[in-house]
Structures are given as structure tokens and as C-alpha cells.
Chain A
């Protein structure tokens, strides 16, 4: 069971790395998907290995997938809108509202 967790930890930190170094909005979103996915794996693993007669982890994962899908849809809508207005989805350029 620990190996599952190790895999998900690596995935998680890959996501974090991407979140920090990526320079485009979509890249950051993809990194977030990685992070969420790793959390999902953790839920499932704990459910299966530690509390097999309950179903919390299962349903949390189910809802997390739903929520992340929703979040992705909204985020992508925002991305497209930003791109339409600024012709770039690079975070560096998203400082119009600063100053």
C-alpha cells in the first residue's frame, strides 16, 4: 500500500513543480489536475486498504472528480476569455489590473 502512496506523492510534487514553474495558464491548470488526481488516488487507497467496509474515500473521490471537472470548465472559459482580450495566456502578462 505504501507504494501507491509513494506514486501519488511523486505525482503530487510533479504537479506542484509544474504549478510553480509553468508560465502559461493552461500549464498551471494541467498541474492542478495532477495534484487533484494524486489526492484522488490517496483517497481510494486509504479506502481500499484501511477501511474496506466503508465508502467515504470512494465517494469523496467521486465528488472530487465532479468538482474538478467543473473547475476545469470554468478555468478554461476564463483562459479563453483572457486570450481573447490579451492574446496571451502567459501569467507574466496578466498584470493589467495592477497599479
Chain B
């Protein structure tokens, strides 16, 4: 069976994502969990690159892998007491969660595979930065200045809130 390089890369990334996702939630050490999450995010960025969304891939790498994971690692190191970071979920919960999740996953996958999506019109090609910039800053239809501003205000509120909450009294 002939496989293009694209497909090989895709399977590789998918495998990484699936394995690392499951490991993220099953590992008992929280720091390892964060590390696996990092791998998942890297692989997701890879998927974006593969889809020719290199800008989004870059964002994914910088914001998630560069920012969020660092935050997680720091907070884990700050909050985990030495030796007490192992956690074993109760067997009852594990069983209940596992069964529900497996049922759900099977259901979704079944749906995805049987649902007839509209014909795929894959158009290769990069969205150039100029377009992104213009759409992000425009005020016309299908342009996103307002959400952009909303998110910026949200970030500001988040900064203030974060300081307020974490501040020592």
C-alpha cells in the first residue's frame, strides 16, 4: 500500500497524540502528566503545520507549549508536597469513568465514521499573514475586531484577577 509522506506524518502524529493523551490522564505523577500534555500539544501543533496552518501552529507552540505548560510546571512544583504527589484514583471511579468514556468514544467514532460529511474540498495553501492581520483588525462582515478586543479585555481582567487571587494577604 502506497503511503504519501503526508500520511506517514499524520499517522505518526496521531499515534503520539492518542498515546500521550491517554498517558496524560492515567499517569499517577502529576508532573509526568504535564509532560505528556506537552507532547500532545506539540503533536497538535504538528497537525496544524500539516494542514498548512503554520501561523496557528506557531501560536499553539508559543502559547500552549511555551506559556501554559510552563505555568503548569511551576504550579505543580509549587503545590506538590514532596513524596505526596502520587495519586491513585479509586477503583470505583476509575471503572465508572472508563466505561462511560469508552462508550462515549465508541459512539462518537461510530458517528464520525458513518456520518456523510459534505464533499471534502481540500485546498492546500498557506493563509498569508497579511490576510490574517486584516481580518483580525477589520470591522466588516467576517472580520474580527470586536472579538479581538473582547479577548484583550478578558486577558486584562485575567491579569488583574490573577494578581488579586494569588496575592499574599
Contact = CB atoms under 8 A, between A and B. Distances in A.
Interface of A: 1-7, 9-18, 20-24, 26-27, 29-31, 33-34, 37, 40-41, 44-45, 48-50, 52-56, 58-59, 61-63, 65-74, 76-81, 83-84, 87, 89-90
Contact of B21 (A14, A48, A70): A14
Interface of B: 10, 14, 17-18, 21-22, 24-25, 30, 33-34, 37, 40-41, 44, 47-48, 51-53, 56, 59-60, 63-64, 67-68, 71-72, 75-76, 78-79, 81, 87, 89, 93-94, 96-98, 100-102, 104-105, 108-109, 112-113, 117-118, 120-123, 127, 131-132, 135-136, 142, 144, 147-148, 151, 154-155, 158-159, 161-163, 165-166, 168
Contacts of A81: 165-166
Contacts, number: 210
A58 B123 contact: no
> A interface, by DSSP: helix, strand, loop or mixed?
helix
A11 B17 contact: yes
Nearest to A70: B158
A1 B25 CA distance: 26
